[in-house]
Structures are given as structure tokens and as C-alpha cells.
Structure 1
Amino acid sequence: MTYELRVLDPAEWDDWFGKLELAFGGVPESPEERALWQELTECDRSIGVWDGEECVGTAGAFSFRLSVPGGAVVPAAGVTMVGVAPTHRRRGILTSMMRRQLDDVRAGGESLAVLTASEPEIYGRFGYGIATYTTRAVIDTTRVRLSVPEGTDAVRLRLADPAKAAEACESVYARRVAARPGMLARQPGWERLPLLDPPGERGDASARQCVLAERDGEVVGYALYAVKPEWTHAGADGTVVLKDLEALDPVAEAALWRFLCSIDLTSSVQINSRPVDSAWQHLVSDVRRCAPTQRDALHVRLVELGAALEARAYQAPVDVVFEVADAFCPWNEGRWRLTGDRKGAVCARTEEAADVALSVRELGAAYLGGVSLTSLAAAGRVRELREGALTEASVAFGWPVAPWLPHGF
């Protein structure tokens, strides 16, 4: 059978998005979410596959700017809204959309594509590697104490209306982007995402609340959260559900964590997504009582390998020749010599003997500094061809701050 793959006409958006919802189980998004996603959708970067009059495949991309090691914020295609109708699986539709999408990303001059996966096993065959992880936890505030740094008491905390405080919060967020790889510089319209709070999806929790951390009249941090009241025969047993937290310094961050852990009538703080090196783990008296777990977050694909590796910095000097396999984007295949340090890098094709052999998937996983090439080698996914080259490359690709994706897309 033949299908038509074409760029999305804005007039087709409702049908297209409805087929995406069906691919994810058929539960419709709330009106608030649907309206925001329609506004944010870049129709010229969205595609659909059609079987006659029926849409049977969807995929899109957002024009993002992603922070990378060294502080640069580079263009990246945020792959999103990927779905195939359950009646049309195993027919090559997903592969055709991935093929078209990566060709378009390359033609548009972006060296990176990124996504979050509903099923992590799907995208490795298209060259995506898991580059960031996120931590979830529940702090038992009845049994866990916080030890905060000196000066925490000097931070002023103020409750604020989330919408009215949005500009101040976005200012703090924007100043944090370059400091941690994997963060997204929010483009116009995306500042509405942290405020999205459909009543039907609160799960018996309150409307979104906001607390600001201030010093000398300046907002230096914020937390967005909700409170889920609950009562037992023993008394109040509510939960603070953390939505977002950013701070410009350790003292302001500690003040926010202490506030969240001491809200009246609650006994726990639910953390849904924080960096794997987040400070709260070192503030608590007993991390076991917080039951932290990790899961994959951002998957990274190097679309133009040389440009992508030149866009980031390296924490130690590196001079290594990679033998790269990339069957899906063969323009990346072959030998590449990477030389660089914290000031920058050059990556160009070479005929020199290879030092390390791997696929583009492993380079994507290591790209943001959170996954070591050494650990990938231990799994048999990277091969050292020159003694010492693997350690050199692995140390250089690392970064002192763990990468983290602050929100989905």
C-alpha cells in the first residue's frame, strides 16, 4: 500500500492532533492543554502520513535552543507528537517520518535533534542516545531533617500569584540555562507551559502555588508547587507536589527546600523531576527516607556530527579520532578527528587511524556530559582501538554539572 507523507496544513491540525491522542490511548487532552499545543505547534515543521482521507501518522518538531557543555545555547530540533495509528503499525510509517524529519533538520542547518520517548527502545535505531536522566523522590518530612547553609535565614520568602510572578520566575530560569547542559532556552509562548494547570489534572491537589525567594529586593529563586491535603485517623498527612524550582545560588535554593519541607498539614514532598546531582540530596538527613529513583529523559541525536561536536566545550584537552557508524544518516559515517578543550573544539574528517570506534547513538548519549564513554564501553557499545584513548575521550566529554531537561515537550 502507498501512503502520502506531507507537511501539515494548519486547517488539518484538529484531525492530526486527534489521531495523535488516539495513538496514545484515546484520552483527550484538556481544553487548556490542547489550546496551548495548538498555539505552539510549528505546522511547517510538522508532518502527517495519510491513507486516503485518514491521517495515520503524526510527527512534529519545535525550534529549540539547547544548552551544551561550556555554556553555549545551540539550535536543536525538538522532535515531538510522534504517533502511528494502531491499525497501521509495522508498515514503515514511523521510519518514513523519521527519515523525512532528519533530512529536514539537516537541510535547516540544525546539528542536533532531541526528544523524550514514550518507549525508550524505539529511537535507538534512528541514532538517538539517552543523554540525560531525571530523579524522582518523596521526602518524608516527618522523619527527615534539612541542614541548610549559613545565610539561609536572610533570604526573604514571599507567596505570589503564579501568573503575576511569571516574569520574575522566567528571568531566574533564563539565567540558569547556560549553567546546566540539557536545559531549553524558552522561546516566546513557552513561558506559558509552567503555568498550565488544568483543574481536571490536579488529582485532588490545590491550584498551582508560587513562592519567591528574594534578597535585597531581587528575586533570586522560585518554586511552583501544589498541596494535596489528606487526613488519617492520626491527623494531617498532606503532600507538597513540587512542579518547578530554580535558584541563583545555594542559599536561595536551600531556603526554598526548607520552605517546601515545612508547610503546615503536610508530611511529604513529592519530587517528580530534578537533576541527578540536585542539592536537596545533600541537604536531607536521610536520603533513604526519600526513596530516589531515576529514569531516562532527553534523547539526543547528532544530525551533523562535526558541527555538533564543535558546538560544545570539553572539560579536559582531547585529541581523538573516532570511527563512527551511522546507517540512518550515512553522511556522518567514517573517521572524525576531534581536538578541543574548555575553550572550544574542531572536528573534521580524517584519514588517520581510528582511536575509538562507536556509533552515533553513543556519541549522542555522551554529548551532554552525563553519560561516560567508559560506561558505554563496559556494555560493549564503544571499542578502544588505541590504548588510553577511551579514558582521554571519556574524561573530556564529561562535565562537572549533570545535564537535565527541565520540562517535557
Structure 2
Amino acid sequence: MSPSRPTEAADAGPDPIERPELLLPEGLSRRWSPGRSTAVAARTGLALGAGVTILFVTGLISHLIQHPPDWFWWPAHPVWLYRLTQGTHVTVGVMMIPLLLVKLWSVYPRFFIKPSLRRGLPEALERLSVAVLIGAVLFQIVTGLFNTAQYYPWKFFFTTTHHAMAYVAFGAVAVHLAVKLPVVRQALSRPVDEPIDEEVPHGISRRTVLAAAGLGAVVTGIAVVGQSVPFLRWTSLLAPRSGEGPQGIPINRTAAAAAVTETARSPQYALTVKVGGRESVFSRAELEALPQYDSALPIACVEGWSAQGRWSGVRLRDLLARAGEYGGGDVRFVSLETTGIYGSSVLPHTHVVDAATLIALRLNGEDLSLDHGYPCRLIAPNRPGVLQTKWLKTIEEIA
């Protein structure tokens, strides 16, 4: 077998009729595994396409919740919906890693096809599109993983960059699948282990490769899903959040990091509420004197982790009614924090009037710890944790 006639290289991507020459050492050209084939590439490619679609949809939901256009509406119930969508987003993203590795392994000979003048521009455009596809998907997976660990060794803003690259990755996958659809259909129409011309009779089988890819995806998923699913916490060896933290809830940002330790503990602390053209001020003691309610709500963060808490405090709608006449608009919450990019958030009307939305004073039967937002914080159903503003300073109706 010569380097210009690699048996499995042809099945892994290059047209088996043309058998183009590969820019690889002769030793590698002689050692093609039966597992490297269009049968494997097509099936792992479909799984990756489904995964990227799930990631695109769930990621778009998270982005729209945080940066809502006028037409967007997100419900307050069920209270676990964002916990589900974002937990799915992160878990599926991790599950894509073994599938992507197997996909690249099965098709990598195509990257070493010797350029041909006869194939010319179409071949060059195909290689460019594949480069964009691989680069975009790898970028999304790597930066997403770093975000779950809150590690940012780059200078760009993760949220907007990750969102923009999602369109590139999803579009590249869609175009690639459309172009390769005839090849995929042909591969799926044949048995997985159907032999091909001059196939090497030994080596790992395609069925074994696909089983390993599926098992790898399941194992990696189980290794992180527990940060979203409490009863699987014990399986999540790779999850950056264990579910443990002050008062039974993990935290992303401490009071010290937010530089609010002194202002939050100040005896002069007061919460200002502006609604209906009126401005009212409430001390922590005055908030405690108002009717108190409980809400069992999860904190669900964009990093994929979530934890259930029993929150107690004043219903937001009751506090607004006591301060003035609420006109039905969105409400802005401003924190004592002045150093971060999430020192304020806007709550839509649907959540403002919901009975589960609280200005929380206690968590799991204890006064809020400083790191959880003492003296008071917002807790609303079905919202990202980054929008559950802590260390409240001002509440104001804006529309």
C-alpha cells in the first residue's frame, strides 16, 4: 500500500475513487484503522450537530434574559426553567468534547490532502469552511469551560464574545451538514461495519469507536451535571461547584470582592424605593417589621450550577405598594457595589408582581450572610443568579 492509496483515508473523507495523495509520512499512510471512516464521521457529526443546536438555543435564551429586546418575554414560572436550560447548556457543552475529539480523529486525513490544481477553488473553499467550523466550535467549548471555572485569561468580554461566536459556530455547522448531506445519507444507509475496498483487516472497529464516543459523552456529562441536579452531586467529579457554600448556597462574588463590607454593615444603611413619583426610605429594621413571606427558589447561574434555597423577606409588590403607586413598568435594582459590571439589574413586570419575588432578608432560616447580600437582596423566580442583585441600595420603577 503506497502513501497515495490510503485505504481508510479515502473512507475518512477524500473521495474513494480519487484517492488523493496525502502529505503524511509513509508510516502513517500504512496504518489506517477501520474505525476511521465516513460511517464514524457521519454519526458523530450528527450528534455534534444536535448538540450544537441545543447549545445555541439554550445559550440564546440566557443571553436574551440578560439583555432582553422589547419583544422578548420570559415567564416567572416554572421557577426551575432557567435552572434546566442553563444546566443543560453547560452539561451538553462538556459532553461535546469526546464527540468532537472522535470526529476530528475520524476525518483528520482530509487536512493533509495534497493540493490539486484540478480541484482548485472548491477544495480551497471547503478547507476554509472546515477551518472556520473547527475553530469556532473549539473556541466556544474552551471559553465556555473557562467560564464555568470563572477563569478568564483573555482581555475580551466573555459574554458578548461567546454570544457572537455562537452564531458563527451554529452557522458553520449548519452549512457543513448541508454540504455533506449526500455523504451522510449514504453513510447512514450502510451498516456501520460494512467493509470497504482494500480495508485493513485489523484494528479498532467502527462500532467500538462509536461506542467509546457515546460512553465518553455520557461519562463527562455525569461528571458535571450534578452541579445542576442535586441528587447527582456525588457523581460530579469535574463540576466547579459542589453545592456547598455559606448558608448552604455557593457564591460567585464575595462582599470583600465587591467592596461593600463597610457600607453593608453601616448603622446608617437604608434602602431607597422610588415608585409613582414618590421616594421612600426603609432601614433594615423597618423591612423586618413588614409582613414576611417565604419563597423556595433556586439560585441558577450562567456557569451551570444551581442550588435550592428557602428565602424569607418582603414581597416586592407589597414594598412597592407601601412606597407609592406602582405603574406596572420594569423596575431597576441598584447595588451598593460600585466595582463590578453587574451592580444593577432590571426586573420585568411579570416578575415584579409575582408573589414569589422577594426583597430577601433571610436564607434557610438565618439572616442573610454578608456574602449572600446582607442587609437585603433581590430574589426572583426563573432568573439567572447574576441578575439577583445583592446588597441593595435603590429600587426604582423605570417605565
- Name the one with the larger strand percent: 1
- Name the one with the larger helix percent: 2
Same fold, TM exceeding 0.5? no
TM-score range, shorter chain: under 0.3
* Structure 1 length-normalised TM: 0.22
* Structure 2 length-normalised TM: 0.22
